[in-house]
Amino acid sequence: MSARHEPVLLAEVLSFLRNGPGLYLDATLGDGGHAEALLAAEPGARLLGCDRDPAALAFARGRLTGFGDRVAVAHATFREVPAVLIEAGGEKLTGALFDLGLSSRQIDDPSRGMGFMTAGPLDLRMDPSRGRTAAERLAGAGEEELAAVLREHGDVTGAARLARALAAEASHGRLRTTAQLREAIDRAHGGRAHPRRHAQVFQALRIWVNDEAADLEAALQWLPGALRPGGVVVTIAFHGGEDRRIKQALRGARVMRPARRLPEIPGERPSEGPWEELTRRVVTPSPAETARNPRARSARLRAFRRKQS
C-alpha cells in the first residue's frame, strides 16, 4: 500500500491562501491534504475540488466527507474548470490553489507507470480513461519531437542523443514498461544513470502525455476572470518550465493562448496586469521538510492577489 501523501509546503500554502469566507478552488485536489487543512482552518470556506485523476477524486471525496456540503468535487482538467465554475453558479473565487505535483499514491502505484522505481506498464496518464499511454505515444514519436519534449519538460542534458536512443528502442517495441525505459536511459548514459536522470525523463514524458503545459497555459488565461478582487492564487510547481510560465503570466507577460476556445467566466474581462505579487521570491521547502519528505525538495511556491481594480 502506498504511503499517505504529505501535502507540500502546507503551512506556507495556508498562510497565503486563507482569505476569509467564500468559494475556494483546489484545481489539483489530489489526496485532499491541502483542502482538508484549508477547510479546517477557515470555517467560512467552501471548496470546489477538481482533478483529472478519477482515483484521486474518489479518495479525496472520502477524506473530505466530514465537511458536508461545504465541499463539491468535479472530474476536470484545467481547461474544463471554467465550465464547472459556470455550472456551479459562476461565483467568483476567494482563492485558488494549483499544486502541480504528483501524489505518493500515484507514484507508488505500479499500474500507473509514474515512478521509475516501480515496475509496471509505461502508462503515465493522469486519467487512465483518456488519451494514449506513454508507450503508445513513444511508438509513433520522432527523434526531434522527443528531443524537444525532453528539453522543454525535463531540462534533460544531451536530449538529442537520448531522444535518438529512445526513438530507436520504441520503434522496435522495446519501450512498453517502466523497467524498459529505465534500462534504455541507462544504456544511453553508458551505465547506470543517476536517479535524477530517470526522474527528469519520466517527468518530461508525463507532462507530454497529459498535455500538461497547454493545460497550464489555459488556466493562466482564464484565472484572472475567475477570481474576485482581492482573491488569492497559490501555485506549487515542481519543474523550472512550469514555474517560469506561472511567474511570467502572473507578472503580466503574454502567454500562449490555448488552441481550444474556452467557456467565458461571467463578468467583465480583466484588464492587463491584474495581479499583485505576494511572494517577491519563490518559496521553497525548509531543510526540515525535505528531510521528512524528500519528494518536496523541488517544490516552488508563488502567491498572487487579484488587484481591486
Residue 5 has a pLDDT of 66
Lowest mean pLDDT among 29-33, 34-38, 228-232: 29-33
Q: Which of 209, 240, 274 is the last residue of a domain?
A: 209
- Note whether 155 and 90 are same-domain residues: no
Confidence of residue 254 (pLDDT cuts 50, 70, 90): very low
CA distances from 12 to 93, 136, 225, 250 (A): 20, 39, 25, 19
Q: What is the pLDDT of residue 266?
A: 53
With respect to residue 236, please indicate whether it lies within any of the assigned structural domains: yes
Q: Are residues 204 and 246 in the same domain?
A: no
* pLDDT surpasses 70 at 259: no
Identify the burial level of 173 via C-beta atoms within 10 angstroms of its C-beta, where 0-12 means exposed, 13-18 middle and 19 or more buried. exposed
Report residue 2's pLDDT band, with 50, 70 and 90 as the boundaries: very low
Which of 209, 234, 256 corresponds to the end of one domain? 209
Q: 141-176 pLDDT, tens per residue?
A: 999 999 999 999 998 999 999 999 999 999 999 999
**What pLDDT, on the 0 to 100 scale, is given for residue 272?**
60
Is pTM beyond 0.95? Reply is no
Given a cut of 90, whether residue 106 has pLDDT beyond it is no
Decide: residue 43, CB within 10 A, 0-12 exposed, 13-18 middle, 19+ buried: exposed
99 and 20 within one domain? yes
Q: Three-class SS of residue 175?
A: coil
The total of structural domains in the chain comes to 2
Q: What is the mean pLDDT of residues 206-214?
A: 95
Shared domain for 294 and 253, answered yes or no, is yes
User: Over 90: is that where the pLDDT of 241 sits?
Assistant: no
Give domain status of residue 158, yes or no: yes
- The pair phi, psi for residue 232, each rounded to 5°, is -115, 140
CATH number for 139: 1.10.150
Q: Residue with C-alpha cell 502572473?
A: 250
What distance in Å separates the CA atoms of residue 238 and residue 216, rounded to the nearest whole number?
A: 13
49, with CB counted inside 10 A (0-12, 13-18, 19+), is buried
Query: Model confidence at 268, in pLDDT bands (50, 70, 90)?
Result: very low
pLDDT tier at 220, thresholds 50, 70, 90:
very high
* Strand 71-75 versus strand 300-306 pairing type: unpaired
Which of 209, 230, 248 represents a domain boundary (last residue)?
Answer: 209
- Give the residue numbers spanning the domain of 171: 129-209
